[in-house]
C-alpha cells in the first residue's frame, strides 16, 4: 500500500536512500507492529564520517580503526539512520526485514526483525541526543504509525535485555508518544 509518506515498498519519501544488501524478505504473515530505537557510533563515541554507512553497506574498512577488528565480517543494517544534524538515511525499505535486532523478544514473540522497523540514532548511551534528531525521529515514527499497525515503540535494550543497552539513559522517551516496552 502506498501513502504520501511511503511508496508501496516502504521507502520513506523524506529520507535519502542508500540501499543495504543486509536484508531479506519478511515472513509472509509478519505485519510491521514494532519500532525499535537504537544508537550507533563508529568508532564508539565518534559522530562524524561515514563509518556507519560503510558498515550497513558492507564497505567498512576493517583495518581503518582497531575497534573494527572485533566486527570484521559483520553483516547488519537498519531501516533508518538519523544523523546528529537530523538528516535521515534509509537503508532498507520497510517491506523488507533489516538485520538490526539480533536475538530478541517482545511480548513473548521471538525474532523481532520479522515484525519491526529499526531506527538507528547516531549517538551513544552516554551522550545526549541532538534536538535535530528528535525533530526527525518524531515525524518518522508518526508516519510509520500512519502506514503500519504499530503497537509499540521500544529501545533495543527492551527487546534484548542484558545483551543490549541502547538507546541508553540519555534518550528522552518523553519525546515520543506511545513508548511501550
116 vs 72: CA distance, rounded Å: 26
Phi-psi region of 178 (alpha: psi -120 to 50; beta: other; left: phi over 0): left
For the annotated catalytic residues, the residue numbers are 120
Residue 146 host element (H or E): helix 131-147
Distance of CA 151 to the CA centre of its chain: 17
Residue 157 host element (H or E): helix 156-159
Closest by CA position to 92, among listed 151, 159, 9? 9
Here the cell at position 120 is 538507528
Here the cell at position 136 is 526527525
* 3-class DSSP assignment, residue 104: coil
79 vs 74: CA distance, rounded Å: 17
Amino acid at each position: 500500500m502506498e501513502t504520501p509518506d511511503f511508496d508501496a515498498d516502504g521507502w520513506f519519501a523524506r529520507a535519502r536512500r542508500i540501499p543495504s544488501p543486509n536484508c531479506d524478505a519478511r515472513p509472509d504473515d509478519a505485519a510491521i507492529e514494532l519500532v525499535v530505537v537504537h544508537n550507533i557510533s563508529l568508532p564508539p563515541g565518534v559522530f562524524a564520517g561515514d563509518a556507519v554507512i560503510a558498515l550497513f553497506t558492507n564497505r567498512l574498512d576493517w583495518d581503518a580503526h582497531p575497534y573494527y577488528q572485533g566486527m570484521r565480517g559483520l553483516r547488519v543494517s537498519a531501516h533508518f539512520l538519523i544523523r546528529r544534524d537530523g538528516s535521515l538515511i534509509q537503508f532498507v525499505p520497510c517491506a523488507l526485514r533489516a538485520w538490526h535486532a539480533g536475538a530478541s523478544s517482545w511480548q513473548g514473540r521471538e525474532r523481532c526483525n520479522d515484525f519491526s522497523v529499526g531506527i538507528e540514532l547516531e549517538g551513544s548511551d552516554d551522550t545526549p541526543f541532538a534536538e535535530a534528531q528528535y525533530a526527525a525521529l518524531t515525524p518518522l515514527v508518526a508516519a510509520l504509525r500512519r502506514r503500519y499497525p504499530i503497537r509499540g515503540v521500544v529501545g533495543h535494550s527492551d527487546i534484548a535485555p542484558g545483551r543490549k543497552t541502547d538507546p541508553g539513559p540519555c534518550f528522552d522517551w518523553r519525546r515520543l508518544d506511545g513508548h511501550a516496552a
